[in-house]
Amino acid sequence: MSTSTQTITAENVIRLFPDVNPSLAGAHKVPQDDRDLAGYDEEQIRLMEEVCIVLDENDVPIGSASKKVCHLMKNIDEGLLHRAFSVFLFNSDNRLLLQQRASEKITFPDMWTNTCCSHPLGIPGETGSELSEAVQGVRRAAQRKLDQELGIPAKQVPLDDFRFLTRIHYKAPSDGKWGEHEIDYILIIKADVDHQANPNEVQDAKYVSQDELKSMFQDSSLKFTPWFKLICNTMLFEWWDHLDTDLDRYTNETQIRRM
């Protein structure tokens, strides 16, 4: 899961990827006869039109491209990088809400992962070049996607309750065609919420303790998203131990962790 060795700069990205729009807003329509998406779920194909924020390796926005363009391995292997977020939602008993991705998902179907993982979009309110502005953008995106994927009302996850910990830069294939190459903003929130999964996004959801999650990792019949395993193996359990004591010491990191 090493990142691209080529330096990712605005100049290189614009030269290599004609599909990248140097502005952030705008539609990226996926043609109905797109061969890359033939045979996939209709709603998931529509979501491939979403506008992701294309970055240089220092998390500075270059422009935008469709979710489809950003997730093709042929583009990832040439250095196309975008912004993402991962939410870890704990209830008042410090149990973590996991989701199992739907079979309809184009990338990483059927895999267990953290509460919600997605992308801020190249739209007003979710973008930002400065870190503080970008963090607020991913908080808004997280609130939006928790509702869309898990039916969690926005009022139960207020923006100011999302705690930003760090950013990780990682690269991971899903299959031969699709994958991820992201600078992923890690958010933790503690809240007791109502949730009802959108079956096109999530096939199962459940709360787990640390020991229960570790037992799941030992079950060879279960599959996990690479970013979730990466975060768990390096940072999550330490954060979990400090949820109610001194989590502040882990928040608001300015350096990007390269993984």
Residue numbers annotated as active site = 117, 182
Phi, psi of 239 (to 5 degrees): -60, -45
- DSSP 8-state symbol, 60: -
Residue 64: which of 107, 102, 17 has the closest Cα? 17
Q: Please, are residues 164 and 207 in contact by the beta-carbon 8 Å criterion?
A: no
Cα angle, residue 44 at apex, residues 82 and 190 outer, rounded to 5°: 65
Q: Please, are residues 98 and 206 in contact by the beta-carbon 8 Å criterion?
A: yes
Cα angle, residue 228 at apex, residues 65 and 85 outer, rounded to 5°: 40
Beta-ladder partners of 65: 52
Write out the DSSP string of 75-137.
HHTTT--EEEEEEEEE-TT-PEEEEEE-TT-SSSTT-EESSEEE--BSSTTT--SSHHHHHHH
Contacts of 168 (CB under 8 A, 6+ apart): 183, 184, 186, 227, 230, 231, 256, 257, 258, 259
Residue 194: which of 151, 141, 139 has the closest Cα? 151
